Amino acid sequence: MAHLPLEELLAKFQAANAAGDASHSGLDQLRSYRELAEACPAFTPNLLRLARLLRLVDEPGTEAEAMLTEVHRLLERAVQASDRSADALIELGYFLDTHRHEPAQARKLLEEGAAKALSSLEDAWAGLIRHLEMEKQLPQALELSARAEQLFPQSGRIMGAVSDARQAAGSTGLLPPEAMEP
């Protein structure tokens, strides 16, 4: 099976998104997302959108259990295709809790999704603090540093970025010397 070039994949996804604006019933959009899922079964953003839309659109001739089975299958595929991304894990966790009444499994997925989301946030904030410091946007770097320190007090990446931002702020007189270290 030939893969769609990235540009074509994104164009089809954008077209599917736009189909929802033109259709009040959502059936055209559903068809577009399904076609894209067939053409590229590992494109996670489409799988997640399709799973969400299936729960919202009343498809003639489709029974509720069949729809839920399809949603479950799509969400499982999204978790696999995304290498267990936070978004996919959280979406599957909500689904299992709400529609399958599997609170224990839902909790495991939600906890894993939260841990992955926090890890991404830690990486993003460390990088952003460093970027702000390098761009000499020290008040913003210090403000973000304070929040990051509270949320990630044991993070070496965060503490390194915070220390550098404080040193830079101290060398410009923005911070007194006693405030430069935690």
138: pLDDT strictly greater than 60: yes
DSSP 4: P
Q: Look at residue 38 and tell me if it is in a domain.
A: yes
Give the SS3 label for residue 115: helix
Q: Residue 12 domain-assigned?
A: yes
| Residue 66: CATH number of its domain | 1.25.40
pLDDT at 178: 61
* CA-to-CA separations, 163 to 62, 80, 148, 150, in angstroms, rounded: 58, 38, 12, 14
What is the torsional sign of CA 54, 81, 126, 150? positive
Q: Out of 8-12, 22-26, 140-144, which region has the weakest mean confidence (pLDDT)?
A: 22-26
Residue 114 lies in a domain: no
**Structural domain containing residue 44:** 1-83
Say what percent of the chain tops pLDDT 70. Answer: 92
pLDDT of residue 42: 94
DSSP letters for 29-57: HHHHHHHHHHH-TT-HHHHHHHHHHHHHS
**For the chain, how many structural domains are there in total?**
1
Span 48-63, pLDDT tens digits: 999 999 999 988 899 9
pLDDT given for residue 90 in this prediction: 98
Query: Looking at residue 4, what is its pLDDT?
Result: 85
Q: Is 52 domain-assigned? A: yes
What's the pLDDT band for 19 if we cut at 50, 70, 90?
confident
The CA distance from 15 to 99, in Å, is 29
* Section 134-155 average pLDDT: 97
Domain-embedded: residue 100: no
Average pLDDT over all residues of the chain: 92
Given pLDDT bands bounded at 50, 70 and 90, which one contains residue 37?
very high
* pLDDT tens per residue across span 65-100: 999 999 999 999 999 999 999 999 999 999 999 999
In a domain, 57, yes or no: yes
Is 139 a domain residue?
no
Question: Within a domain: residue 90?
Answer: no
Q: How many Cα atoms are found within 13 Å in the side-chain-facing hemisphere of 13? A: 18
